[in-house]
Structure 1
Amino acid sequence: MRAVTTNSTWTAGTWARDMGRARVLGLLLALCSLAALFATATPAGAVDTTTQSSYLADRLRENPVYVSDQLPREVPLSTAPDFARLAKKTGVPTYLLVLPMLSSSDGRQLLGAVHDRLGRDGLYVLIEGTDVAQATAWGVRVPAEAAATVALYELPYDAGPLRSFECFVEVIAQGGPKAAARAEAARERFRDGGEPAEMYIGPSDRNNQSFLTGSLLTGVPLLIVLTAGYVRRRRRRSGARRRVPRWVVPGAAVLTAAAIALTAPVVFDQTTSSAARPPTPADLSARVERVAAGLKQDPVYADPESPRVLDTRQRERLHERISDFRRSDGGGPVFVLLVPQTPESEAAGDAELFAAAVHAKVGRDGVYVVADPDDGTIDVVNHGLRLDSGRLSFGLPDSLTFGDSKADEADDHLLGERLDALMTHLDKAPRTDRPQSVYTPPAAPSAAHENDLPPLFATDFWPGLFVGAFAALLLSGVVAGLTWGVGSLLRWRSPAPEPTDRLSRTAPTEPSASYLRRTAHAELTALTREFGSRDEHGPAWDHLDAAMLLLDGDLDRARQSGTDPATLVAVIVLARAGRAALSGGTTDRCCGVNPLHGPAVGRHHVRVSAEGAARRLLPVCEACRTTAIAHPSGIPDRLLKLPAPSPGDGSLPYYDATDGPLTAVPHGIARLVDKVRETAGVH
């Protein structure tokens, strides 16, 4: 009896202890489950790279070189064997990923995740777009970082991905010390401004080459003919005999034209504007076929090469909304394509064109929604449903198609919420009487020849022919003018310049008051001395009389500091005109730009202000006429500016600074004499 009782007591205690352990174990399992749930959950607004890295790891398990099908215009799938051939030269297991450049992915983190899932050591290289973006070595000793640095700094940006990877492999093969030294040298050159020159030219550069070729092809031979003809005429006039046959000049011109035409294609030998190879039809259709195959299995297709932007809950919610819309009145299938749209894709980044290609491959009508996981844009295209296609394509709110500031800040661009809002918009969209489709979008640029440069003898080559001929005529005229000018100088007997030329070169533009006083007194004194005791009433007398009237008959007043600068200039002009008249010359007008320049040689419309285009017809000296013809904007700097009446007022042109007799200078010396006499009250 005791034994039984004892056994019963032990059994109950053991059961209680086991139950307690079970509860503890259950609690631990629950905590572990919660921890796992929180560890795998994706925070709101973040992207999940687990699917992306798993997919890429599976592709590398099949082939150590993976080239995305989303870059056929830049990196066609058909270039994968070339990348594989280069990868074998590293000497270590190499795993290469060639992917589009996505702003939402981190290259180093992606390579680490792919390595963890693949579970193989080696050199992992990521090419994003056209450059080696990241390289990391696990379990092997290679200068991965130095090789990536060299590929970045030694090559121009347009070298292309294949050439960039080739340079990367070349540095890897050199070993650690040489690779490090080469990387440091590349950094130094780049830091000192030694950026490598571009490897390819663009269409505008080719147009410039064509223009230059055309200009040289007509300009140089024609210049030879014109120059030789001018020289021959000069020699004939001098009586010299012809020393060369007539056929030499035309023959030289023809040979020159032929040499230019044959040399230009050798010098300008570029035929393409990019390193990209022309894609094959299979390259251009690979991504469309992949997406279409995925849509036949699931109406929501998320690009496995891109980070996942929809979590499980959002994806299930989107499936429910799509099913409800398909069963609604006037509704139908909805296909969501979470695929990036890049300029290097088969559709050249055109979402509508991509949707049309996928629709043709899927073969089912419906609403095709292209949501870009990289930039967050959403495009909606209706193919065959009773919905207003125009409103769907162009009438959606910007918050749906482009997102708002919150969407811009979120890594996933809040595509889950915006796609849910889009389904609400489709549910409320008005139905039409008959099925509609969007207009057929224009075809994407031809990928086969989009990088081909135009022929050299095309485009701007033809305008270059005319410009070259015109330039030859102009240059031959310049040569003839220079030859005539040099001959005139050699025939010039007197090497000394004329007084008027000397005046135009030495006369100041902004003379000081003391200069005007000294010059006026000296000129008037010389006129008085040269006039002497002559008893004549000619022009010289009129000039002397007018000058003395300005000084109230007192010659010494010209040296007094209180004399008005405008008066002193008028005295100088009159005194010089009087001296010229005494020497037998005639001075009807002086330079209207600067009366101190001396006699005028003609009249010309000149600019009188640096601001605006105001012009005046003024008499000009030889130097001012040359300036007015060759450099019109230089005339305002040559205008005579009188000293300021008081400190701080600044200098002004003589015709703006006075209303006295000096204003008559542009109208001639005789008018100046009359003006002086009118002002003095003498008739």
Structure 2
Amino acid sequence: MRAVTTNDACAAGIWARRAGRTRVLRLLFAICSLAALFATATPADAADSPTQAAYLADRLRENPVYVTDQLPREVPRSTAPDFARLAKKTGVPTYVLVLPMQSGTDGEQLLGAVHDRLGREGLYVLIEGTDVAAATAYGVRAPADAAVTVTLYELASDAGPLLSFEHFVDVIAQGGEQATARAEAARETYRDDEPAEMYIGPSDRRNQSFLTGSLLTGVPLLIVLTAGFVRRSRRRAGAERRVPRWVVPGAAVLTAAAIALTAPVVFDQTKSSAAQPPTPADLSARVERVAAGLKQDPVYADPESPRVLGSRQLDRLHERIRDFRRSDGGGPVYVSLVPQTPESESAGDAGLFTAAVHAKVGKDGVYVVADPDDGTIDVYNHGLRLDSNRLSFDLPDSVTLGDGRADEADDHLLGERLDALMTFLDKTPRTDRPQSESAPAAAPRAADENTLPPLFATDFRPGLFVGAFAALLLAGVVAGLTWGAGGLLRWRSPAPELAHGLPLTAPTEPSASYLRRTAYAELSTLARGFTSEEERGRAWDHLDAAMLLVDGDLDRARDADTDPATLVAVIVLARAGRAALAGDTTDLCCGVNPLHGPGVSRHHVRVSAEGAARRLLPVCEFCRNTAIATPRDIPGNLLKLPDPSSGSTRLPYYDVTDGPLAAVPHGIARLIDKVRETAGVH
């Protein structure tokens, strides 16, 4: 009995140990199952983020410079050789990634992940859009941080990716010490300021066109108006016209030509940005890539962007797409998880992008564009029997734009919202006939998008009108101010007057038109001055002699045939008559310039600038003071009239004629007698 009991106990122990091992194995199996379950349920960012780095590492393995196909309007893929040429100047292995700007992406972390998967030492550079966003050196000596800092501070914001990378490379080539010092200097210099932009926009070009048009009409017209104003002022002052008539119009024409030729040199900008013109292959590369992916899988996730759909979400979306395709009135659904940027081939127009993808895929269906960067969802029906109006206008904003939760989530809850979209498609009414979206408007031509309009266009024509108006306005203001200042000066220092308020003017070289106007005005004023028979005294003799000079016809004073000497004699007699009416019986008239008026004494004065020739002449107070203080100035004050024999030179009035005017130095009475003798009147 004891032996049996012992055997039974041993057997029981063996079975107990086997049962314990079985429980342990079952527990380990359960733990492994849970681990696998948690692995499949890992969030999208943790599970799929290496995919982006792996894809980019594969591209750099093929070529050390990778330029995205999503920015053809800003950085065409055809510029890759230019980046490669610049990268060789760093002196170390350099790997360059040119990608779209992505929100929520750490550039240095991305470069680190790419380096880990590529497994090559060197300088890794990330260019996002148009800027050098990050750079890290792995296993090589290169002042990456300093170069990024210098590029950020020293270059204008619109310098463009190629120039930014070239600047970056130049700093790298300087070495660590110089690059660090330059970074500190740049940080200090541009701490509160930024470099001026290198390019202008269309509005700036319109301003340039407007300014050019304004100057082109305003300045020449102002020259003409100002010259005319000056000419009239000189004519009123009695100065003879010495400048030929063609000078002013010629100067205006030359000024206009100079402005027209200079403006394109000063405003020589032709582009509004540093973008290089893309090739047709650049503009079609992304569409072809997405279309090729959709032919293999109805859901295409952009490999250059962070993944926003986890494995379970992706499987769920595939299942819903298959169910919709099999449903009554359903069909294919193509989902593109691709960013839509203004620099893309479609200029950020999702409808234009889907139309191009639809044409490349060659199959009808519902085309969905889900932007992994901003989280928007756009839906377009191409050829299915679905109510397109419902798709266009009744889709909830929570699906197309997202809500507050979607804005805060890194993946914008695109998996959840795409699932809601599929539910909406299931419930969308079917139609009798297939419907399709209308053809979208074409995107702007990339070649013209960054080209400025011509200088002589846009606001150039309005500038012409404004320039002309401004010239007229400015000329009017100048004329008004001049007239006002002249009136104020005349009020403060009135010009000498003989009688009845007619001012006395005395140019040295009067023009013929001035003499005609003045002779007519003086003679008319004298004739109107006689109001009674008692005034027919000495003043009447002056009027009578002056009328004899014009053959008794007042209008002959304005006749162009009347010679200047006769007109001067008429002016002298008329002014002397006006003085006599006022009670001044002075017989002397200034012999230096009879237009000066009455003389106060006789004086030997110099009558020639050469030599010391002198002559005894009656002089006015002004000429007497000049003869005493600066006698050499008297020849310049002599009244000079055109030489009848030549007409181009001027001589002192007493040498020009042997007529009545030559008697002026002997007094007014002798002048009157000389006039009567010449006319045969006694």
Establish whether TM, by shorter chain, passes 0.5. yes
User: Is residue 146 from structure 1 mapped to residue 146 from structure 2 by the alignment?
Assistant: yes
1:153 Cα offset (Å): 1.0
2:455 and 2:476 map into 1 onto residues whose CA distance is: 30
Contact 1:370/1:379 (8 A) holds in 2? yes
Contact 1:127/1:134 (8 A) holds in 2? yes
1:83 and 1:68 map into 2 onto residues whose CA distance is: 13
1:171 and 1:38 map into 2 onto residues whose CA distance is: 48
1:38 and 1:415 map into 2 onto residues whose CA distance is: 21
Residue equivalent to 1:594? none
Matched AA of 2:70: Q
1:13 and 1:91 map into 2 onto residues whose CA distance is: 75
Do the aligned partners of residues 27 and 177 (structure 1) sit closer, same or farther apart at CA in structure 2, a change above 3 Å counting?
A: farther
1:327 and 1:451 map into 2 onto residues whose CA distance is: 47
Contact 2:43/2:310 (8 A) holds in 1? no
Do the aligned partners of residues 17 and 190 (structure 1) sit closer, same or farther apart at CA in structure 2, a change above 3 Å counting?
A: farther
Residue equivalent to 2:253? 254
The CA deviation string for residues 136-164 of structure 1, in whole angstroms up to 9 with x for no partner, is 11111111011111111111111111111
1:416 Cα offset (Å): 0.6
Which stretch shifts more, 286-295 or 149-158?
A: 149-158
1:157 and 1:29 map into 2 onto residues whose CA distance is: 59
Residue equivalent to 1:510? none
1:430 and 1:411 map into 2 onto residues whose CA distance is: 34
Residue equivalent to 1:243? 242
1:392 and 1:436 map into 2 onto residues whose CA distance is: 11
1:251 Cα offset (Å): 1.2
The CA deviation string for residues 319-357 of structure 1, in whole angstroms up to 9 with x for no partner, is 111111111100000101111111111111111111110
1:269 and 1:32 map into 2 onto residues whose CA distance is: 72
2:21 and 2:115 map into 1 onto residues whose CA distance is: 40
The number of residue pairs the alignment matches comes to 486
User: Is residue 232 from structure 1 mapped to residue 193 from structure 2 by the alignment?
Assistant: no
2:421 and 2:354 map into 1 onto residues whose CA distance is: 17
2:462 and 2:353 map into 1 onto residues whose CA distance is: 40
2:168 and 2:42 map into 1 onto residues whose CA distance is: 36
1:325-404 aligned within 5 A? 325-404=324-403
Contact 1:104/1:307 (8 A) holds in 2? no
Do the aligned partners of residues 58 and 398 (structure 1) sit closer, same or farther apart at CA in structure 2, a change above 3 Å counting?
A: same
Do the aligned partners of residues 432 and 199 (structure 1) sit closer, same or farther apart at CA in structure 2, a change above 3 Å counting?
A: same
Residue equivalent to 1:278? 277
Residue equivalent to 1:169? 169
Do the aligned partners of residues 28 and 142 (structure 1) sit closer, same or farther apart at CA in structure 2, a change above 3 Å counting?
A: farther
Residue equivalent to 2:88? 88
Residue equivalent to 2:112? 112
Contact 1:46/1:309 (8 A) holds in 2? no
**Bigger radius of gyration among the two:** 2
Residue equivalent to 1:122? 122
1:395 Cα offset (Å): 1.6
Secondary structure at 2:48 match in 1? coil
Contact 1:379/1:393 (8 A) holds in 2? no
Contact 1:376/1:403 (8 A) holds in 2? yes
Do the aligned partners of residues 40 and 138 (structure 1) sit closer, same or farther apart at CA in structure 2, a change above 3 Å counting?
A: farther
The CA deviation string for residues 159-207 of structure 1, in whole angstroms up to 9 with x for no partner, is 111111111111101111111111111111221x331001000011000
Secondary structure at 2:344 match in 1? coil
Contact 2:45/2:307 (8 A) holds in 1? no
Which stretch shifts more, 372-381 or 245-254?
A: 245-254
The CA deviation string for residues 58-108 of structure 1, in whole angstroms up to 9 with x for no partner, is 001101100000001110111111011111111111111101111132211
Secondary structure at 1:369 match in 2? strand
Residue equivalent to 1:446? 445
1:25 Cα offset (Å): 8.7
Matched AA of 2:380: V
Matched AA of 1:138: Y
Do the aligned partners of residues 225 and 190 (structure 1) sit closer, same or farther apart at CA in structure 2, a change above 3 Å counting?
A: same
1:42 Cα offset (Å): 3.5
1:115 and 1:392 map into 2 onto residues whose CA distance is: 44
1:17 Cα offset (Å): 9.5
1:362 and 1:443 map into 2 onto residues whose CA distance is: 19
Residue equivalent to 2:184? 184
Do the aligned partners of residues 219 and 407 (structure 1) sit closer, same or farther apart at CA in structure 2, a change above 3 Å counting?
A: same
Contact 2:147/2:183 (8 A) holds in 1? yes
Matched AA of 1:431: R
1:272 and 1:370 map into 2 onto residues whose CA distance is: 32
Contact 1:46/1:411 (8 A) holds in 2? no
1:486 Cα offset (Å): 2.2
Contact 1:96/1:124 (8 A) holds in 2? yes
1:224 and 1:167 map into 2 onto residues whose CA distance is: 49
Matched AA of 1:43: P
Residue equivalent to 1:223? 222
Matched AA of 1:457: F
Contact 1:45/1:413 (8 A) holds in 2? no
Contact 2:146/2:183 (8 A) holds in 1? yes
Matched AA of 1:492: W
2:119 and 2:29 map into 1 onto residues whose CA distance is: 29
1:141 and 1:183 map into 2 onto residues whose CA distance is: 17
Do the aligned partners of residues 270 and 89 (structure 1) sit closer, same or farther apart at CA in structure 2, a change above 3 Å counting?
A: same
Matched AA of 1:260: I
Contact 1:98/1:129 (8 A) holds in 2? yes
Contact 2:126/2:134 (8 A) holds in 1? yes
Residue equivalent to 1:676? none
Secondary structure at 2:366 match in 1? strand
Residue equivalent to 2:287? 288
1:410 and 1:200 map into 2 onto residues whose CA distance is: 38
1:491-506 aligned within 5 A? 491-493=490-492
1:466 and 1:213 map into 2 onto residues whose CA distance is: 12
1:146 and 1:18 map into 2 onto residues whose CA distance is: 68
Do the aligned partners of residues 261 and 402 (structure 1) sit closer, same or farther apart at CA in structure 2, a change above 3 Å counting?
A: same
Do the aligned partners of residues 259 and 342 (structure 1) sit closer, same or farther apart at CA in structure 2, a change above 3 Å counting?
A: same
Residue equivalent to 2:135? 135
Contact 1:219/1:471 (8 A) holds in 2? yes
Contact 1:68/1:99 (8 A) holds in 2? yes
Residue equivalent to 1:304? 303
Contact 1:47/1:309 (8 A) holds in 2? no
Contact 2:324/2:330 (8 A) holds in 1? yes
Matched AA of 2:236: R
The CA deviation string for residues 567-598 of structure 1, in whole angstroms up to 9 with x for no partner, is xxxxxxxxxxxxxxxxxxxxxxxxxxxxxxxx
1:490 Cα offset (Å): 2.2
Secondary structure at 1:448 match in 2? helix
1:304 Cα offset (Å): 0.4
The answer for unaligned runs of 5 or more in structure 1 is 1-9, 496-683
Contact 1:47/1:307 (8 A) holds in 2? no
Do the aligned partners of residues 381 and 429 (structure 1) sit closer, same or farther apart at CA in structure 2, a change above 3 Å counting?
A: same
1:636-647 aligned within 5 A? none
Secondary structure at 1:195 match in 2? coil
Contact 2:199/2:269 (8 A) holds in 1? yes
The CA deviation string for residues 86-133 of structure 1, in whole angstroms up to 9 with x for no partner, is 111111111111011111322111111111111111111111111011
Percent identical:
84
2:41 and 2:56 map into 1 onto residues whose CA distance is: 21
Residue equivalent to 2:59? 59
Contact 1:122/1:139 (8 A) holds in 2? yes
The CA deviation string for residues 216-274 of structure 1, in whole angstroms up to 9 with x for no partner, is 11111111111011101111111111222222111111111111010000000000101
Matched AA of 1:306: S
Which stretch shifts more, 485-494 or 287-296?
A: 485-494
- Tell me the TM-score normalized by structure 1: 0.68
Contact 1:295/1:362 (8 A) holds in 2? yes
1:209 Cα offset (Å): 0.4
Matched AA of 2:266: V
1:35 Cα offset (Å): 5.6
Residue equivalent to 2:206? 207
Do the aligned partners of residues 44 and 295 (structure 1) sit closer, same or farther apart at CA in structure 2, a change above 3 Å counting?
A: closer
Residue equivalent to 1:70? 70
Matched AA of 1:418: R
1:378 and 1:462 map into 2 onto residues whose CA distance is: 45
1:44 Cα offset (Å): 6.8
Matched AA of 2:227: A
1:63 and 1:25 map into 2 onto residues whose CA distance is: 50
